[in-house]
Chain A
Amino acid sequence: MKRSRMAYPYIFVWMPLFIVAPLLFVLYYAFFRDGQFTTDFVVQVFSDTTYLPALLNSIWIALATTVVCLLVGYPVAYILSNMKSRSAALLSMLFIMPMWMNMLLRTIAWKILLDDSGIIVRLLEWLGMENPRLIYTPGAVLVATIYDFLPFMILPIYTVLQKLDRSLIEAAHDLGANSRQTFLRVVLPQSVPGIVSGITMVFVPSMSTFAVSTMLGGKNVMLFGQVIEQKFLIGNQWGVGSTLSLVLIVLVLISMFIMRRVERDTGSEGGTIW
């Protein structure tokens, strides 16, 4: 049996039926109005810069979220992977469990925390800051997005680091490498597949996030996901909304393609870093 056949049910049944077919509906609404082919929506979307600021905001938030999650999450995953496996398992569960609390409850809790009368603002005032504003700022949106996506960075990196080839680390030490060198030249390159998965799971969905930013950003920061949501839910403009979704899809696919190139160039696929 060829192992690649195991992917056939997905490739030939599930993917066309439940991923590609729904997308065809999106395509249809982007290019047809009342059954007639039209390029109106595409023209409308690309003719002026109305939607550009929201798109740039989204890219900025998604990039910042990904970078912060990686910088905060990698050390967490690394520390966990060096712990005794049972306590590490317990702790890694603790990192994902907050996501079991409903998104809306989580966001309300953040609202209470970040509000002008909330505990964090009072703390900042006590520390001597004048009129600190947290809620309804880009910062609040960023904090909540980071919060929501952090576990999705920690988990894939942790699972890869967990079974790192220990003998390589020992070999590096034996050959006189210090901890920093060992980390940079042995541990980090080996964990690239985990990092790639983590980045995919954080960057891709955070490009289209909207619910949290609506509640904590109060529209002072418009995100692309919010614009799309509005086109479908408020404006009854499915055509424009579908076109904007397609723009988002194309953009994300391009950025992930670049990411793959980088990954390949660092040589993680074959592990030929040396």
Chain B
Amino acid sequence: MKRFLKFLKGSYLGLVLFFMYMPIFVMMVMSFTDSRTAVVWNGFSFGAYADLFSDSDVKEALVTTLVVALVSATVATVFGTATAIGLHSMKKKRRAVIEAVTQLPMVNPDLVTGIAMMLLFAFIGLRQEHGLLRLIIAHVTFNLPYVIFSVMPKLRQSSNTLYEAALDLGCSPFQALMKVVIPDIMPGIVSGFLLAFTLSIDDFAISLFTGGTSMNLSMLIYSKMKKGVSTEFCALSALMFLVVGILLLIVNMRSIRQEKQAAIQEKKVMRKA
């Protein structure tokens, strides 16, 4: 019964993962087509990969995308976590108002947010030449609610007693915060960062209007769509998945093995007992 349940759980995860990776598999296959666009299969080729490495626009856009994603996600995570901690200890009514306002960048269609931010930047004189800074500010703005709403539930879950105990034991409030509260809500912070990073990589509409003369990867992909989506980008995504996948494996392999060994050890102990 227990085995059957485990099998059932495994196949459920497998099924959902299959759903998530179906389009990615299609795109990986299409990255090998001998054609400029991703819709026709013209036979096998590495052409897209060759194009990719000789395209300086892609390199520049990739750097812009990663710089903006990393910086904006990091800023949003630090800033959002601090804000969430502050909000958590505020009165309920006041907090509800702020949380409502915080949701606004999530509700407004990206395009409207983008245009409104463009008008704002013109108004406060942050000129188009500072494309990178404008992009980062815009991305932090739409990333913040996701970080705040990731950290919030963890704060609600954690109790105040540990924090108070730390204070009683002589910690300064700051020390208690760093040593007790932050580790406790860490999973929320990490998932907030991941969401922020993901959203930033994926954004198009807001970047289009706020980016000034800078172009990120999604703008470049849209721009090369006039003749259908270029296989170059399929190749780029395929490579990205490969790199991240390998990294993921390396980092996790060792700890998974350690865990397994620990589990075996535990079983042995149990059996002896």
Q: Using a CB-CB cutoff of 8 Å, which residues 115-167 of chain B contact chain A?
A: 115-117, 119-120, 123, 137, 140-141, 144, 146, 149-150, 152-154, 156-157
Stretch of B12-20, B43-51, B52-60 with 4 or more beta carbons under 8 angstroms from chain A: B12-20
Q: Using a CB-CB cutoff of 8 Å, which residues 146-192 of chain B contact chain A?
A: 146, 149-150, 152-154, 156-157, 173-174, 177, 184, 187-188, 190-191
Q: Which residue of B lies closest to A241 (CB)?
A: B112
Once the chains bind, are B237 and A96 in contact (CB under 8 Å)? no
* Residue A101 at the chain B interface, CB threshold 8 Å: yes
The 8 Å CB contact of B9, one of A20, A25, A79, A151, is A79
* Residue A252 at the chain B interface, CB threshold 8 Å: yes
* Residue A253 at the chain B interface, CB threshold 8 Å: yes
- Complex Cα gap A21–B138 (Å): 13
- Complex Cα gap A76–B241 (Å): 22
Once the chains bind, are B198 and A100 in contact (CB under 8 Å)? yes
Once the chains bind, are A155 and B107 in contact (CB under 8 Å)? no
Stretch of A35-43, A45-53, A108-116, A168-176 with 4 or more beta carbons under 8 angstroms from chain B: A108-116
- A61-74 toward B: CB 8 Å interface, digit per residue (1/0)? 00000000000100
Interface size on B, residues (CB 8 A): 93
The 8 Å CB contact of A19, one of B23, B101, B110, B240, is B101
Most chain B CB inside 10 Å of its own CB: which residue of A108, A158, A190: A108
Q: Which residue of B lies closest to A22 (CB)?
A: B116
Q: Which residue of B lies closest to A200 (CB)?
A: B149
Once the chains bind, are B116 and A207 in contact (CB under 8 Å)? no
Once the chains bind, are B86 and A84 in contact (CB under 8 Å)? no
Distance (whole angstroms) from the CB of B40 to the closest CB of chain A = 10
The 8 Å CB contact of B194, one of A85, A90, A96, is A96
- B4-34 toward A: CB 8 Å interface, digit per residue (1/0)? 0000010011001101111110110010000
Once the chains bind, are A100 and B156 in contact (CB under 8 Å)? no
Given A155-B195, A241-B112: A98 touches B101 (CB 8 Å cut-off): no
- A201-212 toward B: CB 8 Å interface, digit per residue (1/0)? 100110110110
The 8 Å CB contact of B244, one of A100, A163, A257, A260, is A100
- Complex Cα gap A234–B9 (Å): 48
* Residue A94 at the chain B interface, CB threshold 8 Å: yes
Specify which chain B residues have a CB less than 8 angstroms from the CB of A208 in the assembled complex: 107-110
Specify which chain B residues have a CB less than 8 angstroms from the CB of A96 in the assembled complex: 194-195, 198
* Residue A137 at the chain B interface, CB threshold 8 Å: no
Distance (whole angstroms) from the CB of B200 to the closest CB of chain A = 10
- Complex Cα gap A96–B108 (Å): 23
The 8 Å CB contact of A109, one of B9, B26, B100, B204, is B26
- Complex Cα gap A10–B147 (Å): 13
Contacts across chains A and B counted by CB atoms under 8 Å: 273
Q: Which residue of A lies closest to B148 (CB)?
A: A10
Once the chains bind, are A248 and B107 in contact (CB under 8 Å)? yes
Specify which chain B residues have a CB less than 8 angstroms from the CB of A99 in the assembled complex: 198, 201-202
Once the chains bind, are A160 and B157 in contact (CB under 8 Å)? yes
Specify which chain A residues have a CB less than 8 angstroms from the CB of B237 in the assembled complex: 100-102, 105
* Residue B256 at the chain A interface, CB threshold 8 Å: yes
- A2-46 toward B: CB 8 Å interface, digit per residue (1/0)? 111111111100110011111101100000000000000000000
- Complex Cα gap A9–B75 (Å): 13
* Residue A159 at the chain B interface, CB threshold 8 Å: yes
The 8 Å CB contact of B248, one of A90, A163, A204, A225, is A90
- A186-200 toward B: CB 8 Å interface, digit per residue (1/0)? 000010011011001
Given A19-B141, A79-B12: A159 touches B104 (CB 8 Å cut-off): no
- Complex Cα gap A196–B152 (Å): 10
- Complex Cα gap A75–B83 (Å): 30
Distance (whole angstroms) from the CB of B197 to the closest CB of chain A = 8
- Complex Cα gap A86–B259 (Å): 8
- Complex Cα gap A199–B9 (Å): 23
- Complex Cα gap A92–B137 (Å): 28
- B186-218 toward A: CB 8 Å interface, digit per residue (1/0)? 011011001100100110110000000000011
Specify which chain A residues have a CB less than 8 angstroms from the CB of B225 in the assembled complex: 104
Most chain A CB inside 10 Å of its own CB: which residue of B84, B150, B173, B190: B150
The 8 Å CB contact of A76, one of B16, B24, B191, is B16
* Residue A232 at the chain B interface, CB threshold 8 Å: yes
Distance (whole angstroms) from the CB of A104 to the closest CB of chain B = 5
* Residue A150 at the chain B interface, CB threshold 8 Å: yes
Once the chains bind, are B191 and A159 in contact (CB under 8 Å)? yes
Please list 15 pairs of residues, one from A and one from B, whose beta carbons are closer than 8 Å in the complex, sorted by A's number: A1-B173, A6-B82, A23-B108, A102-B233, A106-B27, A109-B23, A109-B26, A109-B30, A194-B153, A208-B107, A228-B109, A233-B111, A249-B107, A256-B100, A269-B156
* Beyond A94-B20, A105-B27, A208-B109, 6 extra complex contacts between A and B, CB < 8 Å: A101-B24, A109-B22, A110-B23, A205-B106, A228-B112, A229-B111
